[in-house]
Amino acid sequence: MKLDETIITKAIVDRYTEKLKDAISVDVAIVGGGPAGLVAAYHLARKKKKVVLFERKLSIGGGMWGGGMMFNEIVVQEEGKRVLDELSISSRKYQKGYYTADSVEAASTLCSSAVKAGARIFNLMSVEDVMVREGKVIGVVINWTAVEMAQLHVDPLCVQAKYVVDATGHATEVAKVIERKVGAHLFTETGRVIGEKSLWAEVSEETTLENTKEIYPGVFVTGMAANATFGSYRMGPIFGGMLLSGEKVAKLILKQLK
């Protein structure tokens, strides 16, 4: 068959535009495509909610690919293994209560599961701001990561969302924008982003779940961003808390969407 490069180009532009236009008004906008954001996207999309996820980087998967110090294996505990099983991610028992998984299989399967469930994922896009009306966040402000990196003066576009999830990991970018630009009182002890503490896996795996909640009307935190917002410890390369936190934030939002 003869191939026409202009058709290839039109196909990409048309299909992408279709996808983007469909993402301008959604039920949930998730900021960050690490394990927590992806699990949340998967569960929300499975329940037929309109979900869009924005990821700054080229690759989806956040800090999962690198396992621990670039040894590309992750560890999960019993509860985390349940999430891996549900998504058909293979894992192996290392010793009682500790399971390992190949981080490449885990990251790529989380990504594939979220997309196949119906979540729209846009990579190479950063959320740089939020929109607030009457004390509630009603959407996010997006721009190309390339624009951000080149520090070009290019105005962004907007996405309306009933709920926004800060799944930005250590950076807690959405919470920080709200704190800085809205001057808002977050639902933390200090009313501000408290910041993460040093490494203590046993405590932080528990607190990741406790801290997965609403931090401002319309905005929930999940994953490492939850612990950093509420001032808890980091946990190193154990990922059960991230997976369970993604699951929990989806449940909380589904309840609100009812």
Residues that bind ligand 48H (CB under 6 A): 31-37, 54-57, 62-64, 126-127, 167-171, 173, 199, 223-225, 234-236, 239, 242
Q: 60: closest CA among 39, 33, 87? A: 33
46 vs 234, which CB is nearer to ligand 48H?
Answer: 234
Q: Min. distance of Cβ 241 from ligand 48H in angstroms?
A: 7
Quote the least distance from Cβ 51 to ligand 48H, whole Å. 15
Other Cβ atoms closer than 10 A to 206? 14
Q: Which is nearer to ligand 48H, 89 or 224 (CB)?
A: 224
The token pair at 102 is 């190949």
37 or 218: CB nearest ligand 48H: 37
Structure tokens at 105: 């299989």
Q: Which residues contact 12 (CB under 8 A, 6 or more apart)?
A: none
Looking at the DSSP bridge assignments, the partners of residue 125 are 144
Q: Which CB atom, from 6 or from 198, has the smaller least distance to ligand 48H?
A: 198
Minimum gap (Å) between residue 5 Cβ and ligand 48H: 32
Q: At what angle do helices 201-210 and 240-257 cross, to 10 degrees?
A: 10
**Residue 137: strand pairing partners:** 132
Smallest separation, CB 89 to ligand 48H (Å): 15
How many Cβ atoms from other residues are within 10 Å of residue 45's Cβ?
A: 24
Q: Which is nearer to ligand 48H, 5 or 137 (CB)?
A: 137
Report the distance separating Cα 41 and Cα 35, nearest Å.
Answer: 10
Nearer to ligand 48H, 14 or 180 (CB): 180
Among the listed residues 121, 51, 46, 55, the one whose alpha carbon sits nearest the alpha carbon of residue 86: 46
Q: How far is the CB of 189 from ligand 48H (least distance, A)?
A: 21
Three-class SS of residue 2? coil
In angstroms, what is the minimal distance from the CB of 202 to ligand 48H?
13
